[in-house]
């Protein structure tokens, strides 16, 4: 049973369910459903799909995730970023509003599910670490602007050419101000104002549902649809019937880049908020099992006419704040949505599209992370450059290319930093045994003829030349002749063949110049490489020390004479024993 519950986590929480948790789960399930119903319809519209598909995507995936997921609070369903990615990827292959467009979106959900399942089974959850926080912040901010401006046509009540370039939308909209349907604009703007006010006044109040109900009553009562206000129209009642998605290999190949992007971006968005709430409750979230759960939710859901889904920031927060104690809250959310599909779809007929646009805009503009820009300006401007680059690339090139540029730049910057790592010349801080960077502690003590250095990175082929150049430059520029170089190796976790060969070359050069090379704090794996290559024996066991001060004492005490084991009382066996410990 325990082994089975590892793959199906619901076995554990169902078996240990406490009756006292039902009240919180029920309240959270109902509250999240009230929030999800209008959001799901809005995000389906954003994806270029009928609103009913958003409701379909809010039933089966929630059930599957509740059975397989490890997060108590994650609220699955359509989200704005993924919806825009669907519109971008599928829109390049089919005309919006057509049956083929719908079938491609469903097939995309299937493909996203397969990708996420494969990642989970292969335990590749760590891959998302390549999406650094600055890159995600820049991507989310740019995407929020693209999503928001994509709704301008619904807010103004006019038809605009579809474009993911914000400046194109702004230019065209400004040129067609004379065509604005003012009643539609009034509904949209007042909805935005009401949503913002309700969120500020009472965050847990179902603002979206309230605006939907009031605006629908207004359109129905005053006959505003006859005056040109665009409405949702007929929403078919009933639950989705099972059907097999389109499985054309050629189509799947065309959809694969979009599926990979959605799989990664959707998972990062979901796991980040899940872990945040898990830390608050002091519980664990298994990233690989989350991938399996999300993949299964998309895969199984694709047989029930959904488009790709993931865990949403806002809904998960509401779910947690409303009292969710177990994944039962997600099951109850699905039940409420299903009941809405069975009995209440006629109530959505007069719902204005401008209200759905308002819901989208107020939701996504909160993703624009101005605080992160200010924070990085103060803390790490190189990371700010990555954020700005990703933001600009996404706005100018599009969603997938923008994310690719951000990830590529992040990896490139990582490579650059690893090839030119932080390098410090050390001295001992007065009154302590601590050795620190002389740039930060100019008062630190140094010794004549002794150079103490530290490189804060693994030593590999990429930074071999850097270390050799730095050491040779320091020796050449030293005010007095250098007799001993002490390498603080405590920060070096790995040593590859190229780095080992470089150390052999340095040792030959220093021997010819009568300069001793001593090491302090060498870690076990690094020392083992040195032993296998012969470098350890060539340097001599008596030139390896536990602490920097031991090496300094040796260098100062026997300047010009070389060190022996007697100089510091530790032989090879003692060193090996301590390093192993």
pLDDT at residue 568, as a whole number: 34
**pLDDT confidence bin for 369, thresholds 50/70/90:** confident
pLDDT digit string (tens) for 255-274?
A: 999 999 999 999 988 988 88
According to the model, what pLDDT value does residue 161 have?
78
Helix (H, G, I), strand (E, B) or coil at 437: strand
**pLDDT at residue 571, rounded to an integer:** 35
Taking CB atoms within 8 Å and a gap of at least 24, the contacts of 36-39 are 36/75, 36/77, 36/315, 36/333, 36/337, 37/209, 37/337, 37/340, 38/208, 38/209, 38/211, 38/212, 38/355, 38/356, 38/359, 39/77, 39/78, 39/208, 39/312, 39/315, 39/359, 39/363
Contact (CB, 8 A) for 521 and 578? no
Instruction: Indicate the range of 132-141, 191-200, 340-349 predicted with least confidence.
Output: 132-141
Q: For 379-435, what is each residue's pLDDT tens digit?
A: 888 899 999 999 999 888 888 788 889 889 988 888 888 888 889 999 999 999 899
30-34, 375-379, 397-401, 436-440: least confident range: 397-401
pLDDT digits (tens, 9 = 90+) for 184-242: 999 999 999 999 998 888 877 888 888 999 999 999 999 999 999 999 988 889 999 99
Range ranked top by mean pLDDT from 65-79, 167-181, 459-473: 65-79
Higher pLDDT, 535 or 167: 535
User: In the predicted model, what is the mean pLDDT of residues 521-548?
Assistant: 93
- pLDDT for residue 558: 53
CB crowding 320-337: b at 16 or more within 10 Å, else e: bebbbbbbbbbbbbbbbb
When pLDDT is cut at 50, 70 and 90, the band that residue 579 belongs to is very low
pLDDT of 297: 97
Q: What percent of the chain has pLDDT over 70?
A: 94
Q: What would the pLDDT profile of 502-516 be if each residue is shown by its tens digit?
A: 999 989 999 998 999
pLDDT at 577 over 70: no
When pLDDT is cut at 50, 70 and 90, the band that residue 565 belongs to is very low
Instruction: Decide the pairing of beta strands 423-428 and 450-455.
Output: antiparallel
pLDDT above 70 for 574: no
The answer to whether 429 and 435 are in contact (CB under 8 A) is yes
Half-sphere exposure of residue 344, counting CA atoms within 13 Å on the CB side?
Answer: 11
pLDDT band of 564, cuts 50, 70, 90: very low
Helix (H) or strand (E) holding 451: strand 450-455
* Every domain of the chain and the residues it spans: 21-412, 423-580
The model's pTM is: 0.76
pLDDT in tens, 141-159: 888 888 888 889 999 999 8
pLDDT at residue number 2: 60
Percentage of residues in the chain having pLDDT higher than 90: 56
Under the banding of pLDDT at 50, 70 and 90, the label for residue 1 is: low
Domain 423-580: what homologous superfamily? STAS domain (3.30.750.24)
Work out the average pLDDT over 301-320. 91
Helices (H), 181-248: 182-201, 207-222
**Phi and psi (nearest 5°) for 311?**
-80, 135
pLDDT one-digit tens code per residue, 453-469: 999 888 888 888 888 88
Q: In terms of Cα–Cα distance, which of 85, 121, 78 is closest to 104? A: 85
The residue ranking higher by pLDDT, 299 or 418, is: 299
Residue 545: strand, helix, or coil: strand
The per-residue pLDDT for 428 is 94
Mean pLDDT of the chain: 88
CA distance 206 to 79: 18
pLDDT above 50: residue 569: no
At residue 150, the pLDDT reads 87
Q: What mean pLDDT is predicted for residues 367-375?
A: 86
């Amino acid at each position: 049973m325990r082994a089975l519950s590892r793959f199906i986590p619901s076995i554990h929480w169902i078996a240990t369910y406490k009756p006292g948790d039902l009240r919180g789960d029920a309240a959270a399930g109902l509250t999240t459903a009230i929030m999800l119903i209008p959001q799901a319809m809005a995000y389906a519209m954003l994806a270029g799909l009928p609103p009913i598909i958003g409701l379909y995507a809010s039933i089966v995936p929630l059930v599957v995730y509740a059975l397989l997921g490890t997060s108590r609070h994650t609220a699955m369903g359509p989200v704005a970023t993924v919806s825009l990615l669907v519109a971008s990827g599928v829109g390049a292959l089919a005309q919006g509003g057509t049956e083929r467009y719908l079938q491609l979106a469903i097939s995309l959900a299937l493909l996203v599910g397969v990708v996420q399942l494969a990642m989970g089974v292969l335990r590749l959850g760590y891959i998302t670490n390549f999406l650094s926080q600055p890159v995600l912040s820049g991507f989310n901010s740019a995407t929020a602007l693209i999503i928001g401006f994509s709704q301008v046509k619904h807010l103004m009540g006019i038809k605009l050419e579809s474009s993911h370039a914000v400046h194109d939308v702004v230019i065209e909209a400004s040129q067609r101000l004379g065509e604005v349907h003012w009643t539609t604009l009034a509904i949209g703007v007042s909805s935005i104002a009401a949503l913002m006010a309700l969120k500020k006044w009472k965050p847990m109040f179902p603002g979206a549902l309230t605006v939907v109900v009031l605006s629908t009553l207004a359109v129905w009562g005053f006959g505003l649809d006859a005056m040109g206000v665009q409405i949702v129209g007929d929403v078919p009642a009933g639950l989705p019937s099972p059907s097999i998605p389109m499985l054309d290999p050629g189509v799947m190949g065309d959809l694969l880049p979009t599926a990979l992007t959605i799989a990664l971006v959707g998972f990062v968005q979901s796991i980040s908020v899940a872990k945040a709430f898990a830390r608050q409750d002091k519980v664990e979230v298994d990233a690989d099992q989350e991938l399996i759960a999300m993949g299964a939710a998309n895969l199984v859901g694709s047989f029930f006419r959904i488009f790709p889904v993931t865990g949403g920031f806002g809904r998960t927060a509401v779910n947690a704040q409303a009292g969710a104690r177990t994944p039962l809250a997600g099951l109850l959310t699905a039940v409420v949505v299903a009941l809405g599909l069975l009995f209440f779809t006629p109530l959505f007929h007069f719902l204005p599209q401008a209200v759905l646009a308002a819901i989208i805009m107020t939701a996504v503009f909160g993703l624009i992370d101005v605080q992160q820009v200010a924070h990085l300006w103060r803390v790490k401007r190189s990371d700010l450059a990555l954020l700005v680059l990703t933001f600009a690339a996404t706005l100018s090139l599009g969603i997938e290319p923008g994310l690719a540029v951000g990830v590529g730049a992040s990896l490139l910057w990582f490579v650059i930093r690893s090839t030119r790592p932080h390098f410090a010349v050390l001295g001992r801080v007065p009154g302590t045994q601590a050795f620190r960077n002389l740039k930060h502690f100019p008062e630190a003590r140094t010794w004549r003829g002794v150079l103490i250095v530290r490189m804060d990175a693994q030593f590999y082929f990429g930074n071999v030349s850097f270390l050799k150049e730095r050491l040779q430059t320091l020796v050449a520029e030293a005010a007095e002749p250098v007799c001993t170089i002490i390498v603080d190796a405590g920060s070096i976790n790995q040593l590859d063949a190229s780095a080992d060969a470089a150390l052999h070359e340095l040792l030959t050069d220093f021997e010819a110049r009568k300069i001793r090379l001593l090491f302090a704090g060498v870690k076990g794996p690094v020392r083992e490489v040195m032993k296998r290559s012969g470098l350890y024996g060539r340097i001599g066991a008596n030139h390896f020390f536990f602490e920097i001060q031991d090496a300094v004492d040796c260098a100062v005490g026997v300047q010009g004479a070389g060190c022996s084991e007697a100089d510091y009382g530790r032989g090879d066996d003692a060193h090996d024993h301590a390093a192993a410990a």
